[in-house]
């Protein structure tokens, strides 16, 4: 039986030795002095502050998978949707749209919204383009923002796919997302 262990980098507190960490000593060697020991130069890492060396307060290094600017970016995307989607709903309702379905697909580091379908009364497909001021591209922007906020990187590797089902009458938005992944079924034999 295989045991799978998820490794997570712990938060570290760096003290006096913060300039001496050696991530890759070979990378810092001067090729003109091949055969001589590597000369390690003290350096400031991006996660360190510019506190003077005599400052005894420890510097907390955040987890490498977290980024405050990236978190802010996703919050802004979500706020854009929350602010502007109600106005888009109002315009679509005025054009006779009862529900909207948005389909997307991604893989190999790219992805796109494949289609948007508008439905009127009795789930009949309609084309509101001449009766509404919001365009498909404008509506796609909101759904791209929502998708990025909920499933960042949905287009990477095997990709993700899914759909949004937006019921304007009931004021509901259902999001169905599928993550694709490659899996292996391995058999191992020894001997004859």
Domain end marker among 61, 82, 98:
61
With cut-offs at 50, 70 and 90, classify the pLDDT of residue 129: confident
pTM of the model: 0.61
Which domain covers residue 36, as residue numbers?
16-61
Phi, psi of 164 (to 5 degrees): -110, 135
Is the confidence at residue 190, as pLDDT, over 80? yes
If one counts every other C-beta atom within 10 angstroms of the C-beta of residue 95, the result is 17
| pLDDT (average), residues 86-101 | 95
Query: Is 75 inside any structural domain?
Result: yes
Q: Which residues contact 86 (CB under 8 A, 6 or more apart)?
A: none
| pLDDT (average), residues 20-38 | 42
Report strand pairing: 99-107 vs 160-167.
antiparallel
Q: What is the pLDDT of residue 97?
A: 96
Question: By percentage, how much of the chain surpasses pLDDT 70?
Answer: 66
Is the confidence at residue 17, as pLDDT, over 90? no
Residue 52 and residue 82 in one domain:
no
Query: Is 184 inside any structural domain?
Result: no
| pLDDT (average), residues 20-46 | 43
């Amino acid at each position: 039986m295989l045991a799978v262990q998820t490794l997570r980098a712990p938060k570290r507190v760096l003290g006096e030795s913060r300039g001496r960490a050696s991530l890759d000593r070979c990378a810092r060697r001067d090729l003109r002095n091949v055969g001589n020991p590597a000369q390690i130069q003290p350096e400031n890492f991006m996660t360190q502050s510019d506190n003077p060396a005599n400052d005894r307060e420890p510097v907390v290094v955040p987890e490498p998978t977290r980024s405050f600017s990236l978190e802010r970016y996703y919050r802004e995307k979500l706020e854009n949707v929350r602010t502007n989607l109600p106005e888009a709903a109002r315009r679509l309702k005025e054009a006779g749209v009862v529900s909207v379905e948005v389909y997307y697909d991604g893989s190999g580091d790219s992805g796109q919204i494949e289609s948007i379908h508008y439905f009127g009364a009795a789930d009949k497909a309609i084309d509101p383009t001449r009766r509404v001021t919001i365009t498909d591209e404008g509506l796609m922007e909101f759904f791209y923002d929502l998708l990025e906020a909920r499933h960042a990187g949905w287009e990477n590797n095997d990709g993700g796919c899914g759909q949004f089902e937006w019921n304007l009458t009931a004021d509901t938005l259902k999001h169905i997302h599928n993550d694709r992944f490659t899996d292996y079924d391995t058999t191992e034999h020894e001997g004859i």
